[in-house]
Amino acid sequence: MTAEPVLGERPLARAHQLANKVPEVTVYFWIIKVLTTGMGETASDLLARTLGPIPAVALGGLALVASLAVQFTLRRYVAWAYWTAVVMVSVFGTMAADVLHVGLGVPYAVSTPAFLVVLAAVFALWFVSEQTLSIHTIRTRRREAFYWAAVLATFALGTAAGDLTATVGFGYLGSVALFAAAICVPALAHRLGALGAVTAFWTAYVITRPLGASLADWMALPHTRGGLDLGLAPVTLAWTVAIIGFVGYLAVSQPGRGAHAAA
């Protein structure tokens, strides 16, 4: 599932144009994306339990700012920098959703639609400014800023949605099945010509978050909460190793290769 070119898109000023900053949307993209969502979920919980909520949020925020600073200084897609930023967004996005629920007592039934509104607002501002939501043309700083704002909002939304389904009767394993089925819908709709590529991409992107997070929670959490009781630290470590393996493979096999530029 890839994002589509947009007709009538405004030409980019060559003086400010970068190489595309987003990786190609292949099966490896989706595998790593799901892995980062699960790792971010368990890493966030592990940090909160080890350091306490406030220090964990502060550390997560600093790591996010640092990773995005590195990402923005680059003029092309670099696998390790891009996916490090995604991991930090995953960790901090999880914390943002959890702080609202645990720290401020906001129900998931409220935070989920609230984050959906935030994401819609980001997309609206992005489209008004750039006339496209395509990831094929993330070649200016402004478009890159909109892209990462959308990514952060999708992680917060997906975290809240996954926790919502897990606490209203589906459980973690049931949520895995629910979101695994849900992610097939935009792919099938796009293949049948009923959904545009941009909409299909971002819909699937949002769903990967609760899918990966629910799977990681099911693996890590104790039997009393419906999990396999493998532990937060082992699951975080295992998913981190898997991410490093896949990103390392992409860095070697597809160095500097961003999303197709035909937009």
Position 123 scores a pLDDT of 95
Give yes or no for residue 159 having a pLDDT over 90: no
Strand partners of residue 23: 258
Average confidence (pLDDT) over 225-229: 92
Q: What share of the chain in percent tops pLDDT 90?
A: 60
The whole-number pLDDT of residue 262 equals 36
Identify the sign of the CA torsion 55, 58, 61, 65.
negative
* Segment 31-56 mean pLDDT: 91
Residue 6's pLDDT is what?
42
pLDDT band at 74 (very low <50, low <70, confident <90, very high): very high
Neighbours of 97 (CB within 10 A): 30
Q: What confidence score (pLDDT) does residue 255 get?
A: 64
3-37 pLDDT per residue, tens: 444 433 444 444 345 678 899 899 999 999 999 99
Task: For 91-127, write each residue's pLDDT tens digit.
Answer: 988 887 777 777 778 888 898 899 899 999 999 999 9
What is the Cβ-side half-sphere exposure of residue 70, based on CA atoms within 13 angstroms?
A: 15
Cβ–Cβ < 8 Å for 172, 218:
yes
Q: How far is Cα 139 from Cα 147, in angstroms, rounded to an integer?
A: 11
DSSP letter (8 states) at residue 26: S
73 — phi, psi (to 5°)?
Answer: -75, -20
pLDDT, tens digit (0-9, with 9 covering 90-100), for 194-218: 999 999 999 999 999 899 999 999 9
Assess contact for 35 and 246: CB atoms under 8 A. Answer: yes
Q: Which two tokens stand for residue 155?
A: 């992680």
Predicted pLDDT at 19: 73
